[in-house]
Chain A
Amino acid sequence: DAMVIQNPRYQVTQFGKPVTLSCSQTLNHNVMYWYQQKSSQAPKLLFHYYDKDFNNEADTPDNFQSRRPNTSFCFLDIRSPGLGDAAMYLCATSRGAWRRPEDEQFFGPGTRLTVL
């Protein structure tokens, strides 16, 4: 089945040790998003790609970077994770970026990041 896949599902890293989270999609969607969701909070958009165009949210810390080498894959790099970066990281994709049901966002299962 076409889907959004995130690896790993659980990631443990040490304070300050770089970590990379992976997202892949078989939907051939143009847009890919990364959200951060802390415990009992709403998902918060970090950045998104429309094709190769990168769009960073104004309040996303510089510590967070992203790469999209091709349509299918998108990576979230956390250069120096702090304790406050422990969260669920959700990847989503959509065909387009219009406000219409056809451009609904499909979410992956998430990667839960623990920082020791």
Chain B
Amino acid sequence: SQELEQSPQSLIVQEGKNLTINCTSSKTLYGLYWYKQKYGEGLIFLMMLQKGGEEKSHEKITAKLDEKKQQSSLHITASQPSHAGIYLCGADPSTSSNTGKLIFGQGTTLQVKP
């Protein structure tokens, strides 16, 4: 079965600093989703990457997909306290058809110090 490994598991940065979170899949990626979760709350969709080399941005957050490496990276520029939370990558594990199901990485906990 497919697994998603995120690194680092946790991160503490000073406000204003840049940071990168990685998500590596054990199998071919057919689309990669990034979500953010605040402690004790639901997940908020950030963006979805579908094709190798694709890059998307939402405010100060940029995500890229490297299909060959079966990996995606999430980069935050000039971090702010509002960026704090748990970042989760997700992928549809089905190889044959669209199912809508998602498996998730274990999450990366980000703290931003003012």
Which A residues are closer than 8 A to B by beta carbons?
4, 6, 31, 33, 40-45, 48, 50, 55, 57, 88, 90, 92, 94, 96-101, 103-110, 112
B52 → A minimal CB distance (Å): 14
- List of A residues within 8 angstroms of B33 by Cβ: 104-105
Please measure, in the bound complex, the distance between the C-alpha atom of A109 and the C-alpha atom of B92, giving whole angstroms.
22
| CB atoms of B100 and A90 under 8 A apart | no
| CB atoms of B42 and A110 under 8 A apart | yes
> Taking CB as reference atom, which chain A residue is nearest B98?
A98
B90 → A minimal CB distance (Å): 8
- List of A residues within 8 angstroms of B50 by Cβ: 99-101
| CB atoms of B30 and A4 under 8 A apart | no
Contact of B41 among A97, A100, A101, A110 (CB under 8 A): A110
Q: Given A94-B100, A98-B100, A99-B92, A41–B43 Cβ distance below 8 Å?
A: no
- List of B residues within 8 angstroms of A100 by Cβ: 31, 48, 50
Please name the 10 residue pairs, one residue from A and one from B, whose CB atoms are nearest each other, closest first.
A97-B100, A107-B42, A42-B104, A99-B31, A107-B43, A104-B45, A101-B48, A98-B98, A109-B42, A42-B106
Q: Given A48-B100, A99-B31, A42–B107 Cβ distance below 8 Å?
A: yes
> Taking CB as reference atom, which chain A residue is nearest B89?
A42
B50 → A minimal CB distance (Å): 7
A109 → B minimal CB distance (Å): 5
| CB atoms of B40 and A112 under 8 A apart | yes
Please measure, in the bound complex, the distance between the C-alpha atom of A92 and the C-alpha atom of B101, giving whole angstroms.
11
